[in-house]
Chain A
Amino acid sequence: MWKSAEKILAAAVLAGALAATGIAVADPQPAAKAAATKGEKDKARQAVNVLTPAGASAPAGKTPIALGRPALPEEIAAWNIDVRADGEGLPPGKGSVKEGEELFLQNCATCHGEFGEGAGRWPVLAGGRGTLKSERPEKTIGSFWPYASTVYDYVHRAMPFGSNMTLSADQTYAIVAYLLNLNDLVPENYVLSKENFSKVDLPNEANFFDDDRETSEKAFWKTNPCMKECSGEVHVTARAQILNVTPDGDPPKGDLE
């Protein structure tokens, strides 16, 4: 009881303080009304039907959550666009290298170049075989990507940049066929389809392995790192200012919020 009395008092003090500054304050009565006996509080608690997250062991008297509604098959079909490495998710359809070349020139070449060589800083899509160990690796579909399914999925999902999800299934198969041909992975007369998709393996697939840092970099877990005289004389070996590629100090123009 005394806690509630304290609350009322605090509310009254606050009201007085604000009133002194000319601010109108709502009736502090809710705090008074909250001052119920322990018995009344227990009764009120019993009346509240406590919800439990589904799957959690619901104690007797509690209700599982009834939120959301069933997803309709046509709704799932509209959004279910992902294609997996095993081909799951590929829609029916087909497209030839020749058709793909035409589509690529119309929709993709501005950024990626006519032969997937890339323009400016836009990604290079073809070539680069044998460069992964070099100082300047060129990570293309043919040299780096592990799965052809990713090309289909991504071209359909996110390309062409700025008008994504406008390509039909046949058009997407055709563009993927052209990209595979640019990377010397299928012949010029190839027709790519849902049926033969799984026959296309990308050459770099075997060179990917799962995160192993906890074993391969075990040396980074050390209990007592060196604190004193940890090295000989230290010298500056490289400087950022020489490169001179940092944006200058003018803040961006325009309305930031």
Chain B
Amino acid sequence: MSDTSLPPVERAPGAKPSLSKPSLSRRRFLNLAGVGAGAAVAVGGRSALAAPAAGAPDPNIVPVPDWTRTLGAPVNENPYGKPSVFEKDVVRREVTWLTASSQSSVSFTPLYALDSVITPNGLCFVRHHGGQAEIEPDKYRLMIHGMVDKPLVFTLEDIKRMPGRVNRAYFLECAANSGMEWRGAQLNGCQFTHGMIHNLFYTGVPLKTLLDMAGVNPKGKWVLAEGADAAVMTRSIPLEKAMKDCLVAFAMNGEALRPEQGYPVRLVVPGWEGNMWVKWLRRLKVGDQPWQQREETSKYTDLLADGRSRRFTFVMDAKSVVTSPSPQAPLKQKGPNVLSGIAWSGRGTITRVDMSLDGGRNWTTARLDGPAMPMSMTRFYLDFDWAGQELMVQSRAMDDTGYVQPTKQELRAVRGTNSIYHNNGIQTWLVRANGETENVEVG
């Protein structure tokens, strides 16, 4: 059994944690930030990378570059396709001290390097509880039983032949996203503080279609969803939600699910915590009460300051984070800069995002661009002219239910600091005069 709660490390203000960690040197910071060792964060002048000597022609123009003068690689050089070699650092990353085993652990989405609203399939964060199951599609089976008229077994082909196939974009956020930040600023990068989220177009069949085929008994109120992995992951889902908008999905962004995302079939539970989106879905059981499984009692319940615990906190509240600048994506130049981030709400559609550059004293409404769909990631921008002053950058999301993303102080006032899950407080990035950016708390 591995600890899945991703608890924060012991933290005393100003003190190093008791766990021994490799030091994050300045050189490493620069590497992580994609700036490269030896290259200073270029602030206040032209970028050193492409600057020609004064008056001389740019060597990237004169002479004509090699890539223009010689034939490039053939069309099928990479039959699947890969990112540019220059983007090799844009990868998922693990925080190895966080969990006892890397089979029951998490690897985070590099949000700092991404734009728009759809997460590339290979960069979607991964959370396993018993490692990644490899299931041959011909051997895949999905069983529906319990309080139904006809217990049924489906093959993958059966699911792909079902009428009523749909395409829907939804975010999937782990309930423990930002869970390490309850007691204060801890991890230095939005990949680690907010990277347990991805946003994809799913193709699948409404769960209702399958449940209707089996015929749900009128006394049925809950559905147990179970995975075929070595954790045999289970969650109880209210029947009302199952019939409303859940999907049995077999494709992400147009291609088959990646194995780490539940190939060949996963459950999609829009707007609700990621743990419920059971991967490698093998079984759906209808019953008249929740099953009180480990992942809905011991884990994924929210311990409050008074010692009581909230359970079945399924919905992910509205939340946002600035991805640029952020510790891994510092500001590199004065003058025009595009500040950007993502916002999402499990309760509906993002209607507005405000940004503050002074730690929450004053706010400006950011520009939303791209689709703003319910329970899907929304991209925001603030076109900004930086004079090189210190910034305390924040974002504040609002959704169409009127919910406003709270500050961390507001959240702690009602929940304490032992909740682990559902930390949707406003994030602050401190941008220094040299562009270096750090995860901080303000007050």
Contact = CB atoms under 8 A, between A and B. Distances in A.
Contacts of B1: 111-112, 122-123, 154, 158-159, 161
Contacts of B10: 136
Interface in B1-54: 1-3, 5, 9-11, 13-14, 16-17, 19, 21-25, 28-33
A2 interface: no
Interface in A216-257: 216-217, 219-223, 225-232, 234-252, 256-257
B373 interface: no
B168 interface: no
A220 B164 contact: no
Contacts of A146: 292, 297
B69 interface: no
B153 A82 contact: no
A190 interface: no
Nearest to B82: A257
B237 interface: no
B186 A243 contact: yes
A3 interface: no
Given A82-B293, A234-B358, A248-B31, A256 B122 contact: yes
Contacts of B312: 210-211
A220 B362 CA distance: 19
Contacts of A24: none
Which of under 10, 10 to 19, 20 to 34, or 35 or more describes the interface residues of B?
35 or more
B33 A67 contact: no
A84 interface: yes
Nearest to A76: B145
B361 A241 contact: no
Interface string A139-170: 10100111101100110011101101100000
A209 B363 contact: no
A133 interface: yes
A86 B222 CA distance: 15
A90 to B, nearest CB: 12
Contacts of A122: 1-3, 100
Interface string A158-197: 1101101100000000000000000000000000000000
Contact of B310 (A154, A211, A235, A239): A211
A131 to B, nearest CB: 9
B158 interface: yes
A54 interface: yes
A40 interface: no
Contacts of A234: 358-361, 392, 442-443
A240 B92 CA distance: 20
Interface string B207-248: 011001101000000001010001110100000000000000
B327 interface: yes
Chain B CB within 10 Å, residue with most, of A122, A135, A221, A243: A243
Given A210-B311, A245-B187, A67 B297 contact: no
B93 A251 contact: yes
B440 A79 contact: no
A30 interface: no
A53 interface: yes
Given A222-B404, A225-B354, A227-B354, A240 B327 contact: yes
A75 interface: yes
B155 to A, nearest CB: 8
Contacts of A22: none
Contacts of B438: 239-241
Given A122-B2, A236-B442, A241-B24, A65 B358 contact: no
B401 A53 contact: no
Contact of A139 (B162, B215, B231, B298): B298
B67 interface: no
A178 to B, nearest CB: 15
Contacts of A27: none
A137 B100 contact: no
Contact of A53 (B164, B188, B226, B361): B164
B441 A237 contact: yes
B212 A55 contact: yes
Interface string B83-105: 00000110111111111110110
Given A67-B162, A70-B153, A234-B360, A161 B298 contact: no
Nearest to B192: A246
B99 A240 contact: no
Given A52-B163, A159-B1, A68 B213 contact: yes
10 contacts: A144-B298, A150-B294, A204-B309, A228-B363, A229-B362, A239-B440, A239-B441, A240-B188, A246-B327, A252-B92
Interface of A: 50-56, 65, 67-71, 75-76, 79-86, 111-112, 120-123, 132-133, 135-137, 139, 141, 144-147, 149-150, 153-154, 157-159, 161-162, 164-165, 204, 207-213, 216-217, 219-223, 225-232, 234-252, 256-257
Given A76-B145, A121-B2, 7 more contacts: A70-B150, A147-B292, A164-B230, A164-B232, A211-B315, A225-B398, A245-B187
